[in-house]
Amino acid sequence: MKTFKNGAMLLSATAGVLLALTGCSAAAEQPSGASSAGAEAAPVQAEIVVPEAKEIFPKTSAAIEKATSATIVGDLTVDSQKGKFELSGTVDGTNSKSMMSRGDSTIEMLTVDNVAYMKPNKEFLTEQAGAEAAKMLDSVAPGKWISTKNASLFGNLKIGSLLESMGTGELGTKEAAKITKKDLADLNGTKAFKYTGGEEVFWIAAEGEPHLLKIESTGTGTMTFTEWNAVKPYEAPAKSDVVSVPGL
């Protein structure tokens, strides 16, 4: 596992993933001579078969590569430190919103129309810039967005760079070989293929597109994935909610 620096603790999981098989319905046969008047045969749902990892992982990798947007939420422990993050928006980062926290330290980031904004709390500013600078910034921009020309100053996260860090190009060759167990599972009401290998467990949508739903890593935490190709664009904050700070 790796970590992202600049205050953002993230899981760089070597993710393995898969595709979904959907069962097709077939009409039940009636006994010879039986009347069908006034009734229709009930459809029979075909059994969903869990595919082998080597069959499904390359297809899921392809789905990740062509994704245009997504939402990723992480609840992680790295080097005995617990952290959370939420990253949502376009893969290229041109329209996105993120939140990172570690203990009482929190920062939000927003990018709209190539303009970046950040909203760090006082605890985060104290850790990153020192107590005096934090006091000054908190006095001029309490609860407001700070426009910044250097979005990478406190961790410029992008969906694309995070997915790339997970090694999506190697899912079919390296990760599939590690899988030792496969199941059909229910993940918060969604049918999912569950693959276990080493210290990682992967959940992938068992119906529709082969979207990655969740990664769980022993000792590190979890990452969940939603809104693949469906994140609504974010809007810039109102001018009255934005301040400019020299040097940022």
| Predicted confidence band of residue 182 (pLDDT cuts 50, 70, 90) | very high
- Give the Cα separation of 209 and 64 in Å (integer): 10
CATH pick for 53-244 out of 1.10.20, 2.130.10, 2.50.20, 2.30.29: 2.50.20
The percent of residues above 90 in pLDDT, for the chain, comes to 40
- Identify the three-state secondary structure at position 175: helix
Mean pLDDT of 211-219: 91
| Pairwise pLDDT comparison (24 vs 191), residue with the higher score | 191
Q: Is a pLDDT exceeding 70 seen at residue 122? A: yes
Q: Is a pLDDT exceeding 80 seen at residue 146? A: yes
Mean pLDDT of 1-28: 28
Mean pLDDT of 224-237: 96
Q: Are the C-beta atoms of residues 157 and 223 closer than 8 Å to each other?
A: no
Mean pLDDT of 134-163: 76
What are phi and psi for residue 48, nearest 5 degrees?
-85, 120
Candidates 102, 106, 98, 103; CA nearest to 156 is 98
- Using CA atoms, how far residue 199 sits from 1, 13, 51, 215, 218, in Å, is 11, 10, 21, 10, 5
- Give the Cα separation of 93 and 91 in Å (integer): 5
Read off the pTM. 0.77
Q: For 105, how many CA atoms within 13 A lie in the half-sphere containing its CB? A: 17
